[in-house]
Amino acid sequence: MLFDTHTHINDESFDADFSEVLARAQQAEVGRMIVVGVDRPTIERVFPIIDQHKFIYGAIGWNPEDAIDMTDADFAMIKRGLTHPGIVALGEIGLDYHWDKSPKSVQHDVFRRQIRLAKDAGLPLIIHSREATEDVARILSEEHAETIGGVMHCYSDDWTWAERFIDLNFYISFGGPVTFKNAQLQRETATKVPIERLLIETDCPFLSPHPFRGKRNEPARVRLVAEKIAELKGLSLEEVAEQTTQNALRCFRIDESSENG
């Protein structure tokens, strides 16, 4: 069974066919997934999903693009939410220098506050890094994030940086872009990342893999990511599914025999 470690199935684009989306995931042998909330509306939508579906786990955090909007009340909401037994990570958090909405200094402050919160809660991190790799690595190191570890979500940098993040106790996760024809860097990196440190994801409804690029993504398509990883590493789909699922259970400290909330 496959584990989609990063979904936004709490997105409004799934409202009309949510049960069908989950059914298609089951048919594609996606047995577990994580639903991620990144602001107040999407965080609030995480909890009903994880309460109703025992093999869907939650992650909550404040995304870097909107760092300037995060209030003390929002921080307190995240802190409270982390106590829910179905929440297995804090994220996605990090730095995003692509958009110009939140100044770097504000992003850095919000990032550090949330790393410290995750450490207090004993939860791993889900890291969003866009055009900010050096600062992300520096802040993770300065905050001793290796004590809790986590995952570099939808990884798009080279092997040199991936090796550094692995040394900081992070897993490297690949999504739909690894299947794109122009994604040579991701494929080269995925080939070099040890299978024991690799995760797979969709980031749905975004980043749909080939041949569905540009269409709404959904958890069933994590199978296409796994197939590409298997091809790159000369492994069977079953081997990739087994190893990446075990990696996810270990990363997010999920007891395979237990049920959440």
Task: State yes or no: 210 annotated in a binding site.
Answer: no
Q: Which of 203, 147, 162, 222 is nearest to 35 (CA)?
A: 203
Give the integer Cα–Cα distance in Å for 221 and 242. Answer: 17
The region that residue 96 occupies, defined by phi over 0 for left and psi between -120 and 50 for alpha, beta otherwise, is beta
Report how far apart, in Å, the C-alpha atoms of 250 and of each of 11, 69, 76, 100, 219 are: 27, 33, 27, 36, 20
Over the range 39-76, which residues count as b (16 or more CB within 10 Å of their CB) and which as e?
A: bbebbebbbebbeebebbbbbbbbbbbbbeebeeebee
Task: State yes or no: 98 annotated in a binding site.
Answer: no
Q: Which residue's entry shows tokens 């470690």?
A: 5
> CA torsion sign, 256 to 198 to 155 to 30?
negative
Task: State yes or no: 84 annotated in a binding site.
Answer: no
HSE at residue 170, side-chain half, CA atoms within 13 A, is 24
Q: Is 10 helix (H, G, I), strand (E, B) or coil?
A: coil
Task: State yes or no: 218 annotated in a binding site.
Answer: no
Q: Is 210 helix (H, G, I), strand (E, B) or coil?
A: coil
Question: Are residues 48 and 79 in contact, defined by beta-carbon separation less than 8 angstroms?
Answer: no
**127 membership: H or E segment, kind and range:** strand 125-130
Task: State yes or no: 108 annotated in a binding site.
Answer: no
Question: Are residues 42 and 11 in contact, defined by beta-carbon separation less than 8 angstroms?
Answer: yes
Task: State yes or no: 158 annotated in a binding site.
Answer: no
Q: Which residues are annotated as a binding site for a divalent metal cation?
A: 6, 8, 92, 128, 153, 203
Q: Which residues are annotated as a binding site?
A: 6, 8, 92, 128, 153, 203
